[in-house]
Amino acid sequence: MLIGTWQVSLDEQGRLTLPTPIRPAFNAGVVVTRGFERCLQLCPQPFWFGLAQRVSSLTLSGADERWLRRLLFADASALALDEQATVAISELLRAYAGLDRTAVLVGMDQYLEVWAPERWQECQSTLTAAAGRWSRHDWNVAVARSGGFSL
């Protein structure tokens, strides 16, 4: 389970080192790709394979489905961790997410989001402002009804 938040540095080549507690989740490899809200997704390979399979099973005739494929697959990189557990993020993906010398890693249970610190602060402000609305949910009903939930 990938939970928690870490601030990490990126070196001159755009590499970041995964924090020690979460490294085992990425032993089989990692895929980095564009995420939603202008962050990146750092996926353990087993999770990525399942996600890729679900996205690939979507129809090709729907424009939204084709856009989702482009978002996730076009600039994705499959990588193996080195001895220091570093992940090299391409210049294109760093530009997409607005990453410079620092990144915030956010655990999302089965994958990580990688945020530019200022964008993560904006996200945190939105979360804080909306936190009260989550207390009104009947989680068992909401999750069962939709197969998940949305903001």
Assign a CATH topology to domain 5-137: Chemotaxis protein chec (3.40.1550)
Residue keyed to tokens 């979507």: 58
- Distance, in Å, from the CA atom of 124 to the CA atom of 55, rounded to the nearest integer, reads 28
Bridge partners for 54 per DSSP: none
- Distance, in Å, from the CA atom of 50 to the CA atom of 111, rounded to the nearest integer, reads 12
User: What's residue 149's pLDDT?
Assistant: 46
User: What's residue 139's pLDDT?
Assistant: 57
Q: Based on C-alpha coordinates, what's the Rg of the chain?
A: 16
User: What's residue 147's pLDDT?
Assistant: 53
* Consecutive H or E run containing 87: strand 86-88
Tokens of 94: 């760093």
Instruction: Give the contacts of 81 (CB within 8 A, at least 6 positions apart).
Output: 18, 23, 26, 27, 29, 30, 87
- What's the average pLDDT block by block, 10 residues per block, for the chain (151 residues)? 96 96 95 95 95 87 88 91 93 96 97 98 90 66 50 45
- Distance, in Å, from the CA atom of 125 to the CA atom of 93, rounded to the nearest integer, reads 24
Q: pLDDT digit string (tens) for 118-134?
A: 999 999 999 888 877 76
- Distance, in Å, from the CA atom of 143 to the CA atom of 145, rounded to the nearest integer, reads 6
User: What's residue 129's pLDDT?
Assistant: 85
User: What's residue 15's pLDDT?
Assistant: 96
**Does the reported pTM lie above 0.95?**
no
Are the C-beta atoms of 26 and 44 separated by less than 8 Å? yes
User: What's residue 140's pLDDT?
Assistant: 59
